[in-house]
Amino acid sequence: MASPLPVPSPKDAEVKLHTGGCHCKRVRYEFEHPDIYAMAVVSCNCSFCEDRGSLNVYTLEDKFRFTKGSADDLTTYSFGEGRIMHRFCPTCGTTFGAAVPRGGIVVINTRTIDGIDLQRLQLYKADGRSKM
Ligand SMILES: [Zn+2]
């Protein structure tokens, strides 16, 4: 079966619990996911990703939960066909990533993960621009 996620997880990567949240700590989350440094992190060149500079990993809704606050505490933004609900903290402006309700996918901006070392990420350059 094909993976429902844009970037399939490496089969033998160790699954860890990652935690993160926004700058003002209004909203916190955790999710189970393979080692972030062992997989491709998506750097997309679409008009929106270019503006906000998020570096994304993808997980399924059932692997992700809010540990402080909830989706209702976040502002959302959508454009184009409106399939993707981009999420922001309305207080500090942190870009969390997004929810893709049809498909049950949660997009996580790796910049919001606790203790992330951006220099160690393996960036995969996605050409979102030509798909819009
Ligand atoms: Zn915040």
Asked if residue 11 belongs to a domain, the reply is: no
| Cα separation, 96 vs 94, whole angstroms | 6
Asked if residue 6 belongs to a domain, the reply is: no
Asked if residue 95 belongs to a domain, the reply is: yes
Ligand 1: distance of its center to the CA of 90 in Å? 7
Q: Is the pTM of this model over 0.85?
A: yes
Asked if residue 3 belongs to a domain, the reply is: no
- Per the structure, the complete domain to which residue 92 belongs is given by 16-113+121-126
**Which CATH number belongs to the domain containing residue 63 in this structure?**
2.170.150.70
Query: Where do the H-state alpha helices sit in 11-102?
Result: 47-52
93: closest CA among 21, 19, 23?
23
Reading the chain (132 residues) residue by residue, the pLDDT tens digits are 455 666 666 677 789 999 999 999 999 999 999 999 998 898 877 777 777 788 999 999 999 999 999 999 999 999 888 888 999 999 999 999 999 988 899 999 999 999 999 999 998 887 777 765
| Cα separation, 81 vs 84, whole angstroms | 8
Ligand 1: distance of its center to the CA of 7 in Å? 27
Instruction: Provide the domain count of the chain.
Output: 1
Ligand 1: distance of its center to the CA of 77 in Å? 16
Asked if residue 9 belongs to a domain, the reply is: no
